[in-house]
Every structure is written in structure tokens, then in C-alpha cells.
Structure 1
Amino acid sequence: MNIPLKSLESPAGDVFTPGLEGVLVAETVLSHVDGAAGRLVLRGHELGQLADWSFEAVLALLWRDLGPESLDETQIRERLGTARMAAFERMTAALPALEGLSQVEALRLLLSRLPDAEPQCHHLVAVASVPVFAAAIARCGRGLAPVQPEPGLGHAADFLRMLHGVEQGPERVRALETYLVTVADHGLNASTFATRVIASTQAGLFSSVIGGLCALKGPLHGGAPGPVLDMLDAIGREENIVPWLTDALNRGERLMGFGHRIYRVRDPRADALKRAVAALRETGGRIAFAEKVEVEALALLAERKPLRSLQTNVEFYTALLLEAVGFPRDSFTNVFAAGRMAGWTAHVLEQDKVGRLIRPQSRYIGPAPA
């Protein structure tokens, strides 16, 4: 005798939503994404208001009232400098183990060496460690020795210094700082949700943020900036722009760097990064060429898909910015993680205050037992 499948449904009888789109699973004070209006709010501030802030000031904002002690921008800057030095000392012995790993896999390995039993400000240690590790990994990939941090510098300035071996100009530092601020937090995206789920088990902060990094490694979340540069490489010259884009659309291909799942109008992060990229135009590179690609792509998309709002997204300007300040494209995910670690750590601290295991239900659709 077969048991009716209806009796195997979840007691709540809730409607299944693929991807959990539109399903509320948490309350947070950290950030709000309004895709219909093209708004991103971080703790009461529009992203446009924060774009000129230092990364340390945004950390102070996100961590406020969540950590074991309240730290202001100056205190965070000082402690990050000290923590970067400690991270460098910890990292040195592990470098031989990175052989054969991709850059994000190498970052995962180095973060896994940080114990969850770290002192109280382990969230600060996590944020400090990523640029130290990411810069060293990028340099090792080019056959260069890691560069020791300079604790007296700001976080973004020292990140670029550790990457290049010498201090960089203020335009580059400001551009990277804008990027780190812009990607610091963005609602309950895949990596942040993964981080909160792990945090809800009380596994510890480093275990939680490593889970976030593993989610970020996937090409559907965090891997798009690199392909933007691949597209620019393929176009090559200015006279190829329209023919190349037209052929790609005729083949039904997606133009990398345009459109967004959440934002139905302009992505506010794209606006902030576009201004930062414009300030780098005189430093060389292919920013002017990419801007011409953007103009033609938007015109073609508006003509081909008039009922859809396919605007330039954050990945397009991310690719241009990170290339212009000197990061190799295979390190882009690690640089993203350096900024998003701000949000991941804040969500871990917030989830710790909730103190409840995240345990959603699934609907069984397999065969009924005989």
C-alpha cells in the first residue's frame, strides 16, 4: 500500500521558492538592497554618502554595537596595522603549501590556519589578514617575494604597497578604498547567507567567513569581473567594438558587465565605481577604450531589449578599476573578499547576538515508501 505523498509534505505547507528569492530569512541592521529603486543602504547611509569614506570608517559603522568593544576609525586603523604585521608573521611558514593552488584556494588555506579561538577582536584579525594574504599570493604567482606590511599606513594604501612593493599614488589608493567600501556589504547575498548559516551553529568566526569565501569562489557569485576583461581582450580595437558586440548578441550571448539579478535600474555601486575609475583615466591603461565599449553596448541593448533595463553593473567598473591599480585578474576574487570581509564579520557578530540555529525546511519530492 502506498502512502499518499501529501502526507509527506512539510507541516507548514509553504510554497517552494527556488533560490529563496523573496523569502525573508533574517533581520539585520547592516544593509538594505532595494533593487527596484536602485538603492543600497548601509546602517542608515546611502552608498553614495559612503563612497568617499575610509574603509576603516565603514568598518566602525558596520561593527558599531556588535563587537566586544566599540572602536572608532582611528583605533581601527591602528589595530588593523598591528594585526597585518601579525598576519604576515603567521603566513610565512605556510607559503610552500600554496604551490599548485589557485589564488582563491590559496587564500582559503591561509585563512584556515587562523584558529576560531582567536582573542576577542577576531573580526578585526580576519579583515586585517586578507590583504596581507592576497597580496602575497599575487606576488608569489609572479615569482616575487611577499612584502611585509607597513602598520602606519591605511588599509587600502598598505594593500597596494604590499602588492607592488612600493607605495602607490593617492589616485590609486583612493580608487581601491572606494572599491573596498563599495563592496563591504550587500544584503543577504550567497556568501553572506552562507556565513550566517555557519555562524548560527556557533562554529566560530573564521570557520564562518571561510564558508563565505567558498561561496564567493563560485562563478555565479564574485567571479564576473575577470570575464569583463576577457571581453575587452576579444574586442581588441575600437573599430571592432560594434561588430563584436553585434555578433555576440546575435549568438544569444550575454555581454559581460551589463544587467543585474537584483537591480532593475542603475546599480548604485556602479555609479560609485564609475567615478573612481574616471579619476584613473589619465594614468594609462584602457579605461577610455572600455568607456567606448560601454556606450555602444548600452545602445545595442536598449535597441535589442527595449523592455528590459540592462545597465552597466558593478563588475564592469570593478574589472577596470582593479586592472588600473595593478591587480592581476586571477586575484580579483581575493580583492573582493578583502572588501566583503567587512560585511561577513559584521554579520557573524550580529548572528551571534541572535543566538538561534538557522534551520529551514525542505519539501520531499521523492518516491513514497511502500
Structure 2
Amino acid sequence: MEYQPGLKGIVAAESELSFIDGINGVLLYRGIPIERLVEKYSFEEIVYFLLYGEFANLAEIEKFKEKLIENRQIPIYVQHIIDELPPNVAMMDVLRTAISSLELSETNIYEDAIKLIAIFPTIIAYRYRNIMEKSIISPDVTHSHVENFLYMLTGEMDQTKAKILEAYLILTMEHGLNASTFSARVTISTESDLVAAVTSALGTMKGPLHGGAPTGVIDLLNEIRTFDRINEVIMEKLMNKERIMGFGHRVYKTIDPRAESLKKMIVTLENLPKWMELAVKTEQETLKILHDYKPNYKLYTNVEYYAAAILKTLDLDPNLFTAIFSSSRIVGWCAHAIEQRRNNSIFRPDVKYIGEMRY
């Protein structure tokens, strides 16, 4: 059998959850373009759609929202575990430890998924404010899932910032059989539980080749600082053959539809934060410079570019990026675990032996 490093090009699962066309810049959730979803539906509505395969009616979505709200609180024993972790333990390691300690029903995978999705933001905010020596903010039942996340992190409620964050979290919920999702499916395929599957996914997401923080993009925008420096900084990097952070993607060979959707939503907002204005203008000028400098040099903005701009606009520590990314991608992990359970076959690929024969 032919060896494919990293299983690249190997179809390892069939899924109804998402479709990716990297050549044409297309991403669908259950057959619907993400552009349409992010414009018309809330975070909660799309979570329901991915988990259950259909959109909820009014009664169903209200009940679903209530369940998310009911499961936001961190159990006392999990708080104690988090509190005992040294301050230098990274947020992804805190998440992995806290999630692995949760006791779920294991009898209803849908209910367990709701509990995990609901508690993720609370764990992140609880740990973040503890480390920053700020007062802990309890979940607010009057806020939506994303509004509450932002409120628990910052202590403030800004509708413009909440809308920006919600769009980002929707656009990063699901993205095919990426490394962390594959880990989740492998674990659940052994008939293990959802907590184990999500813990596996978190361990994979932690790796810098998958869920690394977009510090390079933030460094780029910090270096530019003002509109009049965009051309100078970008041209200097091109002359020095430096990588332009936030441009180019392994899958998308044209515009990343997630980045395009974020930009489209952002530029229509009133009172656009100054940092976001700089990010939008920098993207426009950089693409023009790149295409004029090297017409065949096809680099386009990726979602990481706007993720960095969003984090900076929300005034959040860049070290939180992978954890915030995970608070979105857990939806995809859970949806894939449910799908794997429905038609399970344990993952057991072959390995090609390349050592000596000594018999």
C-alpha cells in the first residue's frame, strides 16, 4: 500500500457537516454557504443546526438557549482544580485539565455536547480573570452565549464587539477533518466518551501547527501603526523576502471565505474601532501591493488575519487566541463525535515498517 505522510489526500470519513472547496473559496455547513449563515443566524441557532442537522423552531431554540444558560456554571470541585494549577500553566492545559475532570451523563451525547459547549467560555474567563488578578464575573443569564463570554472576560458589554466576536466564532465552528477534529473522531470511534474525545481534540489543538496564536499578525499591525506606514512596511518585508503574516492558507488557494465574511460584516458596522479600521485598510493595500509586485503571486487574506484584528480590537491577550478558537471549534468536535457514533468504525490505519529484518 502506498504511504501518504500525514494521511494527506486520504479520505478517512464521510460527513454531512461541512464541505470545503479550497480552489474556489467555498465553505458550507450542512450544504449552506457560511456567508448566508453568519448574516442570518445567531451562534446558538447554528450550533443547533450542526448538532441536530436541522434548524430549530421557535420553541426548540428557546429551550436550547435555556439549556446552554443552565450549564454555564463551573462545578465547585472543578473550580478547586483550576485554582490549584500554577499560574504559569497555559490556558489550553487548563482547559484540557478542567474538561477532563467533568462528570457527564454518558447516556445522551447531545446533552453532554450542550454542557461542554456551554461551560467552555466560563472556564476560559474564570482562569483568565484569576491570573490577571481581577474579580471573577459570574455568567449572566440575560446575555446570549457570545455576549456572556465577552462580558465574563472583560466585565463590559459592547454590542459592536459582541457582534464581531460572534461572527468569528460562527465562522470557525467547523472545518472538515482537521487535525483536532480527527483526534476527536478517533477517540470516540473506540466507544470512549465525549469528554475523552474533546480532551483529545484539545491536546491536538494546542500544537502550534494547528491552533497557534496569531501573534505574527498582531506584530505586523503594531509595526504599521498608522495608515501612512502600510506601503512602507509591506514593501520592506517583500524586499527582505519576509513572510506577510495573515496572508495565504494551506487549503484555500483563493480568498478564504471566512476572512471575506468577517470583513463584509465588519465594514458595515457603525463606530468601527480604530484598530479594525487599520486592519481593513492594511488588507486592502497589502493585496494591491502583492498583486502589483508579483502578478502571479497568489496570496489572499486568511481567517487568522481577522482573528488577530478581532482579539486586538477586543483588547484581549493574544495568548487567549487558541482557547477562544477552541470555544468555537468544540461545536464541530461534538458534531463529528455524534456523527461518528451514528455509523461507527474504529480508526485503525496500517503502518509501513521501514526497519531492518533481523530474523
Whether TM exceeds 0.5 here: the answer is yes
The CA deviation at 1:200 is 0.8
Instruction: Map 1:30-45; keep pairs closer than 5 Å.
Output: 30-45=17-32
Find 2:309's aligned residue among 298, 316, 320.
320
Q: Distance in 2 between matches of 1:335 and 1:206?
A: 18
Find 1:244's aligned residue among 226, 229, 233.
233
The CA deviation at 1:183 is 0.6
Structure 1 unmatched ranges of 5 or more:
1-12
Q: Distance in 2 between matches of 1:119 and 1:177?
A: 30
SS at match of 1:115: coil
Q: CA RMSD in A?
A: 2.1
Q: Distance in 1 between matches of 2:341 and 2:128?
A: 33
Question: Which residue number corresponds to residue 211 of structure 2?
Answer: 222
Question: Which residue number corresponds to residue 138 of structure 1?
Answer: 128
Q: Distance in 1 between matches of 2:270 and 2:205?
A: 29
Q: Which letter maps to 2:45?
A: A
Structure 2 unmatched ranges of 5 or more:
none
The CA deviation at 1:21 is 2.2
Find 1:165's aligned residue among 134, 145, 155.
155
Q: Distance in 1 between matches of 2:162 and 2:227?
A: 29
Contact kept? 2:22, 2:253, Cα under 8 Å: yes
Using a 3 Å threshold, how does the CA distance of structure 1 residues 360 and 259 change in structure 2: closer, same or farther? same
Find 2:65's aligned residue among 59, 62, 77.
77
Contact kept? 1:108, 1:210, Cα under 8 Å: yes
After superposition, the C-alpha distances for 1:146-200 in whole angstroms (9 at most, x for unaligned) are 211123321011111111224x132222212111111110111111111111111
Question: Which residue number corresponds to residue 366 of structure 1?
Answer: 355
SS at match of 1:220: helix
Contact kept? 1:88, 1:149, Cα under 8 Å: no
Question: Which residue number corresponds to residue 42 of structure 2?
Answer: 54
Using a 3 Å threshold, how does the CA distance of structure 1 residues 369 and 243 change in structure 2: closer, same or farther? farther
The CA deviation at 1:344 is 0.5
Contact kept? 1:80, 1:151, Cα under 8 Å: no
Q: Distance in 2 between matches of 1:116 and 1:84?
A: 14
Q: Distance in 2 between matches of 1:171 and 1:360?
A: 47
Q: Distance in 1 between matches of 2:274 and 2:318?
A: 14
Question: Which residue number corresponds to residue 298 of structure 1?
Answer: 287
Q: Distance in 1 between matches of 2:349 and 2:9?
A: 15
Q: Distance in 1 between matches of 2:195 and 2:326?
A: 13
1:273 equivalent in alignment to 2:240:
no
Using a 3 Å threshold, how does the CA distance of structure 1 residues 197 and 57 change in structure 2: closer, same or farther? same
Contact kept? 1:78, 1:152, Cα under 8 Å: no
The CA deviation at 1:323 is 2.2
SS at match of 1:40: strand
Using a 3 Å threshold, how does the CA distance of structure 1 residues 281 and 214 change in structure 2: closer, same or farther? farther
Question: Which residue number corresponds to residue 141 of structure 2?
Answer: 151
Percent same amino acid at aligned positions? 34
The CA deviation at 1:127 is 0.3
Using the size of structure 2 for normalisation, the TM-score is 0.91
> Is 225-234 or 344-353 further displaced after alignment?
225-234
